[in-house]
Structure 1
Amino acid sequence: MLNKIDLSGVWKLSLDEEQKGRPSAFEDTMELPGTTSHARKGKRSEEKLTGSLTDEYKFEGSAWFAREIEVTNELAERAVFLHLERTRMTTVWLNGEEIGSRDSLNAPHVYDLTGRLRPGTAELTIRVDNVGYPTKGGHMTSPDTQTNWNGITGAVELRVYGESRLEELRTYPNVGEKSVRITAGVEGAAAAKLRVSAESFNGEGFHAPEPAEFALNGSNVDVTYPLGEEARPWSEWSPELYRLKLELLDADGEAVDTTESVFGLREFRPAGDKFEINGQRTFLRGKHDGLIFPLTGYAPTSVDEWVRVLNISKSYGMNHYRFHTACPPEAAFAAADMLGIYMEPELPFWGTVTVPGDENHDQAEQDYLISEGYEILKAFGNHPSFVMFSLGNELWGSREKIDSILKGYKEFDDRPLYTQGSNNHQWVPELLEHDDFFCGVRFTRERRFRGSYAMCDAPQGHIQVDPPSTLTDYDEAIYPSQVQAGDGEEGGTKQIQIQYGTEMKTVEGDGGGDWVSPLPVLSHEIGQYATYPDFREIDKYTGSLKAENFKIFKQRLEEKGLGHLARAYFENSGKLAMENYKEELEAALRSRKLAGFQLLDLQDFSGQGTALVGALDAFMDSKGLITEEDWRSFCDNAVLLARFPSYNLVGGDTFRAAVELSWFRQEAPGALEVSWSLRSGSEKMGEGVIAAEVTANGDLFELGGIELALPNVDAMQKVELTLRLNGTDVYKNYDLWIYPANAAADFGGVQVFESLTDEAKALLAQGGKVLLMPNVSALENSIEGTYAADFWCFPMFRSISESMDRKIPVGTHGLLIRPEHPALSEFPSETHSTYAWWNVVMNSRSIILDGTPSEWEPIVQTIDNFERNHKLGLLFECRTGGGSLLVCAVDADAAGESPDGRQFLSSVLNYARSEKFAPTFEIALEQLERMIR
C-alpha cells in the first residue's frame, strides 16, 4: 500500500427509517466513524427496558451518508479501494453511480474504485442498513450486548496501491523450522521480485532476520522466509511479535508497493487432554465476551482500548477469550497478539443447522453464515492470537452439515483449531470428524463437568446441591472408569425438551451415548452466579446506553419498603457469588482431564434479563467484591489447592488435606516449599512446611498432605487455612469452622410449636415466649431455601422453566445476617452466607413478610431477586398476641444431623431460653397468621 486517505470527519446525514430510498436532500450531519445512537441522531426512544440496557437513540432503517472528496491526477491513476472497517449492510455510490453492496457483519467492507475516479471533486454516498440482515446476527446485532447500531466504526478511508499489489496475504509460522511461509496473490504485472524482511518487537530484546528476495513467477506468491536460530516464539508467557515487511520490486529493483503484516512464531495444537503452545501444555482460563461496551453501544476499534480491556482480564488470571456468536474488530486481535491472549471468534449464529427438505430451512441464511466464516478467516487469520474458531453457540440440527462446514474451513485455512460450536446438541453431544476440540457442559445426563446449571437443565451442579467440600473434580465425568449403564440414548431417536436460546424447543435427541473425548475438553459458560444490582452504577451510564433497568429495579425495591437495604443486598449477595466462583474454578483446576474453561462471565452481562454475574461490572470495573489478587488465588497459571471433605469440623477430630499445585507457567517450579498454617484470629492452631520437587510443568501436581489434630473447643470458631508457595506470589486461603464436640440441639425449657395453635396463642396472651419452628414442607407463603447464588438471572430462567413446564428456580441470592444479634451469639457469622450456613439454609424455607414495616428486620434474611423483591425471613422475632415470638423456619431434624446445624440450633434455643429474648417490634397476630401459613 502506498497511502491511506482518511475520510473520517463530518459527513452529511439523512435517516430513512421507512427505507424510501435515496434522499433528495441531506438534512443533518454526523461524524464518521461513529453510530447514529452515539451521535444522538434520530428520535429519542421512549423505551424503558428491564431485560437489557436501553438504547436512548435507537435507530433502525437506512442511514445515508455523503461527502465530497478531492481527486488528484495521481489518485485517479492509482488502484484505489474504499475501506469501511466495521459496519452493517452497505451500498456505495460514486457520483451517483452505484458501485456495489456488502453485507459482512464481521469483516471490513471493501469497494474497488479503481478507474472510476476522475480528477476534481467527487461525491461519495454510503447507505448503511441495519434491518433485513441475512441472519439474526447473534451478539453482533443483539440489544442484549452491543445493540443493533447503525453507522460505521473504525477506519473510513481510501487505500491507495501501486502498479502491483499483494492480495489475501497469509502467514504460516513454522516453529520447528523457525520460518514463516508466505502466500498471496499478486495483482498487476509490474512486480518481478518480492523482498521480505522482518523485525521483532513486543519483547525484551530485538531480532531482525536477514532480508531475502524471491523471484515472482506468475500471479501467486508461495515462499518460505527463514527467521534464523534466534527466532523468538509467541505464547501467553512471552508474546514476541514480528513486523513483516513485503516489498514488490520491479525489474530494476525499485519498490512498486509495500505490505506490512504482524505475525507470531507459534504452534497451538491439541495434545491429548490439553492444548499445547509451542510444545508446552497450557490450561485455558477463558472469558465469554459479547462485545458489551455501555458507553458507546459498539465494540472499540482502538488497539489501546482493547489493550486496556484485555489487560484487566489478564489481571484476573485470564488467558483466553471466547466471543459468543461474535467476532471482535481487528484491534482486539492486535491487542491480544501483544498480550498473549488466545482468541476464539464465533459465527454470528445461535440456532438450528438445517438441510434442504427440513422445515424452516433457509439456504440463503446458511450460505451467508458459511461465507462469514471465510471472511473472518481472511480478515483476521494472520493474527497469532487467533487460535480457535467456533461455528456458533448451542447449535442443533444436522451433524453432517455442521461437519461439512468444518471440513470446508479446515481445507481453506488449517491454522486455527476448529470446533462444531459451543455446547452443541446440549443433552446429546457427539464429536464430529473435523473437530479439533470439544466445548460443552455434559456428555450424558449424569456426566456433567460444570458446577452449576439452570433449574430447567436439572440435574443441577455440585455447587448448587452437594455439601461443600473441595473434593470435586470432573475427571470421572470426562473419562469414566466404567460405562454407566443407561446413561446413553444409543440407537434411534428420542424427543426431548431443551433450552433453546432464551426459550424452549422440542428436538430429536439423536446420538449421544457413552463416549470419551480423545480431544481437549473445555467447559462451557461456567459460573453464572448472579449478584443483586448495585444502584450506584446507574450514574456511570453516560453514553449511548442507559440503565433504565437498574432504575426500575431500584424503584421496585423501594416500593417494597426495602430500598434502605440495596447496598447490603448487593455487597452480601456478591460475597456469596465470589465464594461460588472460587469453588467453580478450583473444581476445574482440580480436573486433570479438563483442558480449560470458558467463564460466563468475568463481567456483568447487560442483557437476557439483566444478568449481573460478574466480579466486574459491565464497564470492566471492579465491583469491590474481591481483589484481583484474591481472584487470581483460584484463577491463574499457578494455583495452590487443598482437598478436604468438609469446611465444617469438630473439635478433637483430625483435619486432613491433600495439597496440590496447578502449574501452567513457562518453567517448572523445581524444588519448592509450601508453608501452611491454621489460625483462629491471632491464635495459631498449627503450621508446617511441605517440601516437594516438581520438575515438569503443565499439570496438576500432588505436593503432600496436612494432618492436624484439632483442639477441643468450647465455642464455635472460624479458622483460616493459609497456603503459600514460598518465594512466589502464589497463595490460598480457606475459611473453615470448628464446632464443640458436645454441641446439641437441647429443646428443654423452650416452648416450641409447629404452628400458631390455640395453645401457642394462649401462651403468648399470658406474656409468654414461644419458638415457632414450622413444618417447612408445609409452609405456603414462603420461598425454598437454597445456598448458592441465583443462576444467571431469575426473570429469564423463570420464563424458560414455565415454558418447559419445569420447576421454577428458587431465585435467591443468599443471606443478609445480623451477626450482632444475641440469637447468633453462639453461631458467630459474617453478614453474608458462608459454608457454616449451608446445612441450615438447605433445610429451610424463608417466609414472605411483604408489607411489613421497614424497621422490622429479620435476624436472618434471605436476599430475593430484583424481579420479586420479597422481604424474606428465615429467622425473625416480634412481639405479638401479648407475648414474644421467635420464628425459625428450619427443619431441625435434618439440620441437626450436621455439627454446624446442631450449633445453629443450640444458639437459637439458648437465646429462646434467655432473658435477652425480648423483641420490641410489635405486629398483630392476625397479620402474622396470614403470613405464616
Structure 2
Amino acid sequence: MFQSTLWVNGGLAGQQDSLSVPHRFDVTEHVVAGAVNRFVIRVDNRDIQNLGTYPSAYTEETQSIWNGIVGRMELQASEAFQLTNVQTYPEPGLGAVRVRGIGHNLTGKALDAEITLSAAGGQGEQKHQAPEVKQSLRLTADSSEPFEWLYSMGEEPLLWDEFNPNLYELQLTGRTNIEGMQLETVTKQTFGLRSFERNGRLLQINGRPIFLRGTLECCIFPLTGHPPMETEAWFSLFGTARDYGLNHIRFHSWCPPEAAFEAADRLGMYLQVESPMWMDTWNMPVGAHPEHYTYLPMEAQRIIQTYGNHPSFCIYSNGNELNGDFELLHRMTAEVKALDNRRLYTLTTNWDRPVDPADDLFCAQTVDEAGVRGQYFLEKLSVSTMLDFSEAVSRRDVPVISHEVGQYSIYPDVEEIGLYSGALRPVNLEVISADLGKRGMLADLRKFVHGSGMLALQLYREEIEAALRTPELGGFQLLDLHDFPGQSTATVGILNAFWQSKGLIEPRRFREFCGPAVLLLRMPSRVYTNQDEFNAGICMAHFGTVELPPSAIEWKVTTGEGMVLDQGVIQTGAIPLGAGIPLGELNSTAFTQVAKSARLTVALELAGSGIRNEWPVWVYVLTGEEAPGDTEITVTSTLDDNLLHRLSEGERVLFLVKENELEHTAPGKFHPVFWSPVHFATDAPCGISVDAAHPALADFPTSSYAEFQWLDLLDRSVSLAVSDGLPFQPIVQVIPNFYHNRKLTNLIEYNVGAGKLLICGINIREDLADRPAAAQLRNSLVSYMGSAAFVPQHSLEPGELCELLKPRELSAGPK
C-alpha cells in the first residue's frame, strides 16, 4: 500500500498503484539469465491518487494506513506458448459457459495448437464431469491474441449457490508441434455455474428469488492492521457469519484479497465488492481531483478483471455514500458492466437519488424519503410487529437493499483490551476503562455490556424481521454483526471486533429470526391486559431451494414457567419462495387466564421442519383496585421541610421525579445511542440494568434488561445522577454512554432518618388507564412499600438528600 515501484538490476521495471489487486510486473527485459539479479521495491503509502483517508481500503479508522507488502512475493517464469486471462461466462439456462482468454506465442514461429477443454466439479459425494471438447487455435509469431469458445457442461450440471456451493475446475490443455518440437501448456481456472440477476424488483440466483441477509466488513483486523491473505482466516470469518444465518457480506469501500473470494466460493457467500471510494460532500466529492477521472475507472476495471471468475462476486458498487460527479460514476459503472455481465452493478451504496440507467439495484436507507430501515420508524418497530418497508420498495422498479441497518450502540467491553496482542493498541478502550475506574464504576461493566447488548439485540432482531416481512425487498446489510472500532468507537455489534461472541445470544437462536426460512408474526401490540383477545397474522419468509409442501403451523402461548395456556394448529397450502408470505391467523383467548401480570411467550413451529420462532408479550391484570399500602405512604414530587420532617418521623415516602424540575437529572430514553456518542454527540443512555429479583418488582414482570414493555416507561422518565460520594445500589440502573460515564438511576431507595424513601424517575402518575405497564409498576412499588420487605440497605443524611434532589434553578426572565 499504496504505490509500488520496481527496479531490476538498476533499471526501472514499472510502477503499480492498485489498492485492490496484486501488483504484477513484466521483468523479462531486465532479468539476466544465469546471473545474480537485484530486485529493489519501493512502497509509497502516501495518498498519491487523492482518494482521501475515509475508504476502508485506505484509512486509520480500522485497518491502518500501513506501509509494506502483504501476501505472496514470487517470481514466475512463463512458457513461450501459454493461455492466460481465462474467464468463464455462464450462458443463459446454465447449460454451457463461454470461455474467453488470451493465447500467447513467443516461439518466434507461427503455430497451430489443439486445445482440449475439460471441467469437473462438485462437492462431497456429488460430482459431475463435463464432456471433453477440442478446439483449434492459430497464433501468428510473437503474438498475443484473444480466443472464445462455447463449452457445453453436459447433462445435469451442478449449480452454485449458498446451499450447494459447487465449484468446477476448468482445464485447458494446449498442444502444438513446431518443427518437430512438441510444446504443451496447461491452464486451470476455478469457476461456479450460476446466474445472479434481477427480475423486476426481485433478486434471483439461478432463476429463483433470493434475499440477502448481510453485514458489513470494513477491513477490521485488530491483530495485524491489514486484511488476512490466507483462506483459513476468511473461512473463519465467513463461517461465523453463516453460523448467525447470514449469506452476504458487503465490503464497505474496499475489495478483499483473492483468499477471501476463494473462501466465499467454497462456503457459498454472496459478496458485494466496492472500489476504494468514500467520497461525499462533507469530505471530498467524486471528481474533486483530476486523478479521479483516470485512476477510479481503471481501479474498477482491475477489480472486475481480476476477481470476475469467482461466483461469490455477485454485486459491484463504486463505493460508499458517493456524491459529486455522477456522470463519472455512471461511466465507471457502464464500462465495467459492458466488460462483465456476471453480476449486478450500482453507482453507489446509499443515498436517496434517482435510479441511473446503469443501476441494477438500489441500496439505500431511504427511497424518495420513505424509510427502508427501522430507525425511521422506531415507535412502530418497538410497539408491534407490523412494520415493513413496502412503501419504500414500491418506489423503485429495481431491487432495493436496506443500507447499514442497526447501528445500535452497546457499551464497550473494556475487558477486551487483553485481546489486542498484535499491531493495534485499543487506546479508546484504555481511556474508557480509566474513566470507569476513576468514577468507581468498573464493577458495573458486565451489567453495562449485557444490558445495552440485550437491548440492541432485540432491536436488530426487529429490524431483520421487518425486512423479512417486506415482499420484494432484496435484502439488508447490517451495521453491524461485529464492532466497528473506529469513528470515535462504534461498538454496535452482537460480536466484538474479533468476530467473537459477547454472550448475548447463541447462533442457533439468532438463526430462528435470521435464516433462509423464518416464521413471522404480525401482532398489533406487545402489551395487553387480561381482558384482551390475542389476534395476529402468521407469515413467513422462505428463500430455500424449492417451495415447501402443504404443512401445519403449530402455535402455543406459554407462561414463563412453561405452562401452556393455549395452543392450536393452522393448516397451510404449499409455501412459495418469497418474503412476507401470509399463512393464516392466530386467534386466542389465552390472556383471560392470566391472574397475575406476566411475560408470556407466543411460539410458532412449522411441523416436522425445525423451523420455529417465538415472541414475548406482556399481559397486565386489570383489577381497578388500589395496591395494598397506597394509603399508607406519602407520594410527592417536592422536597421541603415538611417532607424531611415526615421522614424523620419514620414515614414511607414515594418521591416521583418530574421532568426538568431537578438539577441532577437527565432525560430518559428507551432506544440506545445511534452509532457512537462521540461521532454523533449525545449524552443519551444505552439501556438499563434491572435488579429483577428485587421485591419492589415482585408484581412487575421484567428481565434484567429493557424489553419492549419498558418503551413507554423509559421514554417518559428522567434519570437521577448520583454523585460519586453517595451510596449507590439502584433497583434500576440507567446505563450511560461511554463518553458520559456517571451513576444514573430511575429507581433507587434509601433510609433517611427513621423514614424510608423510594425515588422513582419513571412517570407513574399520568394516563395510567391507557398505560398498563406504568399502572402495574406503580402497583408493584406501592405494594412493596407497604410491606415488611421495604428495607433499604443504604442511608442518606438529610443534607445529602437535599443535594441529590436539588431543584433546578430557573433562568431569569427579561427585566
Which of the five TM-score ranges fits, normalised by the shorter chain? over 0.9
Superposition deviation, residue 528 in structure 1: 1.2
Superposition deviation, residue 864 in structure 1: 0.7
Q: Secondary structure at the match of 2:538?
A: strand
Superposition deviation, residue 744 in structure 1: 6.2
The 2-side partners of 1:908 and 1:578 are apart by 29
Matched with 1:827 is 700
Distance 1:528 1:254, change over 3 A: farther
The 1-side partners of 2:669 and 2:307 are apart by 46
Matched with 2:265 is 337
Q: What 5-or-longer segments of structure 2 have no aligned partner?
A: 140-144, 808-815
- Amino acid in the other structure paired with 1:892: I
The 2-side partners of 1:115 and 1:397 are apart by 43
Alignment of 1:502-581 (within 5 A): 516-581=395-460
The 1-side partners of 2:357 and 2:798 are apart by 69
The 1-side partners of 2:360 and 2:524 are apart by 36
- Amino acid in the other structure paired with 1:846: S
Matched with 1:486 is none
Distance 1:306 1:435, change over 3 A: same
Superposition deviation, residue 391 in structure 1: 0.9
The 1-side partners of 2:112 and 2:89 are apart by 23
Superposition deviation, residue 195 in structure 1: 2.4
Alignment of 1:558-637 (within 5 A): 558-637=437-516
The 1-side partners of 2:579 and 2:772 are apart by 36
Alignment of 1:739-818 (within 5 A): 739-742=620-623, 748-798=631-681, 808=682, 810-818=683-691
Q: Secondary structure at the match of 1:837?
A: helix
Matched with 1:700 is 580
Superposition deviation, residue 928 in structure 1: 3.3
Matched with 1:714 is 595
Distance 1:718 1:359, change over 3 A: closer
2:796 corresponds to 1:923: yes
2:283 corresponds to 1:363: no
2:152 corresponds to 1:238: no
The 1-side partners of 2:663 and 2:275 are apart by 47
Q: Is the 8 A contact 2:6 2:15 kept in 1?
A: yes
Q: Is the 8 A contact 2:657 2:718 kept in 1?
A: no
Which stretch of the first structure deviates more once superposed, 301-310 or 698-707?
Answer: 698-707
The 2-side partners of 1:550 and 1:319 are apart by 31
The 2-side partners of 1:793 and 1:363 are apart by 34
**TM-score with structure 2 setting the length:** 0.93
Superposition deviation, residue 259 in structure 1: 1.9
RMSD: 2.2
Superposition deviation, residue 168 in structure 1: 3.2
The 2-side partners of 1:879 and 1:230 are apart by 79
The 2-side partners of 1:563 and 1:189 are apart by 70
Matched with 2:810 is none
Superposition deviation, residue 712 in structure 1: 4.3
- Amino acid in the other structure paired with 1:192: D
- Percent identity, aligned pairs only, is 33
Superposition deviation, residue 518 in structure 1: 0.2
Q: Is the 8 A contact 1:325 1:350 kept in 2?
A: yes
2:51 corresponds to 1:125: no
Superposition deviation, residue 638 in structure 1: 0.4
The 1-side partners of 2:743 and 2:321 are apart by 37
2:203 corresponds to 1:272: no
Matched with 1:876 is 748
2:52 corresponds to 1:136: yes
Q: Is the 8 A contact 2:470 2:579 kept in 1?
A: no
Superposition deviation, residue 185 in structure 1: 2.4
Q: Is the 8 A contact 1:743 1:902 kept in 2?
A: no
- Amino acid in the other structure paired with 1:208: Q
Alignment of 1:408-557 (within 5 A): 408-424=335-351, 428-445=352-369, 447-452=370-375, 461-463=376-378, 467-479=382-394, 516-557=395-436
Q: Is the 8 A contact 1:642 1:658 kept in 2?
A: yes
Match of 1:111 among 25, 40, 58: 25
Matched with 2:813 is none
The 2-side partners of 1:614 and 1:263 are apart by 33
Alignment of 1:22-61 (within 5 A): none
Superposition deviation, residue 199 in structure 1: 1.2
Q: Is the 8 A contact 1:694 1:701 kept in 2?
A: no
Which stretch of the first structure deviates more once superposed, 259-268 or 727-736?
Answer: 727-736
Matched with 1:397 is 324
Q: Is the 8 A contact 2:597 2:701 kept in 1?
A: yes
Matched with 1:840 is 713
2:730 corresponds to 1:858: yes
The CA deviation string for residues 458-506 of structure 1, in whole angstroms up to 9 with x for no partner, is xxx3236765211111112332xxxxxxxxxxxxxxxxxxxxxxxxxxx
2:116 corresponds to 1:195: yes
The 2-side partners of 1:647 and 1:780 are apart by 35
Q: Is the 8 A contact 2:472 2:578 kept in 1?
A: no
Superposition deviation, residue 605 in structure 1: 1.2
- Amino acid in the other structure paired with 1:132: D
Q: Is the 8 A contact 2:381 2:463 kept in 1?
A: no
Superposition deviation, residue 831 in structure 1: 1.0
Q: Secondary structure at the match of 1:363?
A: coil
Q: Is the 8 A contact 2:405 2:463 kept in 1?
A: yes
Q: Is the 8 A contact 1:463 1:584 kept in 2?
A: no
2:230 corresponds to 1:351: no
Matched with 2:784 is 911
Matched with 2:88 is 171
Matched with 1:383 is 310
Distance 1:644 1:399, change over 3 A: same
Distance 1:738 1:353, change over 3 A: closer
Q: Secondary structure at the match of 1:696?
A: coil
The CA deviation string for residues 733-753 of structure 1, in whole angstroms up to 9 with x for no partner, is 211221102266765443122
- Amino acid in the other structure paired with 1:183: R
- Amino acid in the other structure paired with 1:215: S
The CA deviation string for residues 201-220 of structure 1, in whole angstroms up to 9 with x for no partner, is 33542222222222224511
The CA deviation string for residues 855-913 of structure 1, in whole angstroms up to 9 with x for no partner, is 52111111011111111110111123653221111223456221111101111222233
Which stretch of the first structure deviates more once superposed, 302-311 or 776-785?
Answer: 776-785
User: Alignment length, in residue pairs?
Assistant: 786
2:211 corresponds to 1:211: no
The 1-side partners of 2:444 and 2:592 are apart by 39
2:232 corresponds to 1:304: yes
Superposition deviation, residue 335 in structure 1: 1.0
Q: Secondary structure at the match of 2:88?
A: strand
Q: Secondary structure at the match of 1:139?
A: coil
The 1-side partners of 2:257 and 2:530 are apart by 58
- Amino acid in the other structure paired with 1:436: D
The CA deviation string for residues 48-75 of structure 1, in whole angstroms up to 9 with x for no partner, is xxxxxxxxxxxxxxxxxxxxxxxxxxxx
The 1-side partners of 2:472 and 2:209 are apart by 13
Superposition deviation, residue 700 in structure 1: 3.0
Q: Is the 8 A contact 1:203 1:238 kept in 2?
A: no
Q: Is the 8 A contact 1:665 1:698 kept in 2?
A: no
Match of 1:734 among 608, 615, 626: 615
The CA deviation string for residues 243-276 of structure 1, in whole angstroms up to 9 with x for no partner, is 1112333246944432211111111001122210
The 2-side partners of 1:179 and 1:360 are apart by 41
Q: Secondary structure at the match of 2:197?
A: strand
Match of 1:647 among 526, 534, 541: 526
- Amino acid in the other structure paired with 1:797: F
Q: Secondary structure at the match of 1:152?
A: coil
Distance 1:593 1:696, change over 3 A: closer
The CA deviation string for residues 25-47 of structure 1, in whole angstroms up to 9 with x for no partner, is xxxxxxxxxxxxxxxxxxxxxxx
- Amino acid in the other structure paired with 1:727: G
Matched with 1:12 is none
The 1-side partners of 2:30 and 2:493 are apart by 51
Superposition deviation, residue 553 in structure 1: 1.2
Superposition deviation, residue 927 in structure 1: 3.4
The 2-side partners of 1:103 and 1:429 are apart by 32
Match of 1:94 among 8, 24, 30: 8
